[in-house]
Amino acid sequence: MIFIVRTDAGQTPPLNARMVRKTPAIVPDSAGKTDIFCLGDPEAAKAEGWPVVPVHDGWYADDSGGGMAIWGQGLFWEVRDTPFTVKQACGPEAWPADLRHDRDAVVNVRQAIFRG
């Protein structure tokens, strides 16, 4: 699972980092902060005292024109050199053992969309 560790610039956690960027200015108290996108267990990182920020589905730009696309609340991700060039990716083969997805599930689309 991908999560963000937000640290002071120059401070690097001993975690599996996939992307590093300056914390965006829109984030309160972002001056001098760095976002490190880590692959691993966010709860273990919290237990070690690292400031963990959860990710949401979307695009996280880096400082050089690329970024990270995330979906599945951090289970699936792609590191990109540009918005269209995939450098690294993680897909369903890396699902945690305790999470299962239904490959052959029948979905009632009408009920799923038009719940009242």
Taken in order 21, 25, 9, 74, the sign of the CA dihedral is negative
- pLDDT at 114 > cutoff 70: no
Query: What pLDDT score was predicted for residue 18?
Result: 92
Structure token digits, residue 71: 């979906």
Query: What pLDDT score was predicted for residue 75?
Result: 83
Instruction: Give the neighbor-by-neighbor strand order of the sheet with 2-8.
Output: 16-22, 33-39, 2-8, 52-53
| Per-residue pLDDT tens digits for 6-52 | 999 777 888 888 999 999 999 998 899 999 999 889 999 999 999 99
Exposure string for 82-107, b = 16+ CB within 10 A, e = fewer: eeeeeeeebeeeeeeeeeeeeeeeee
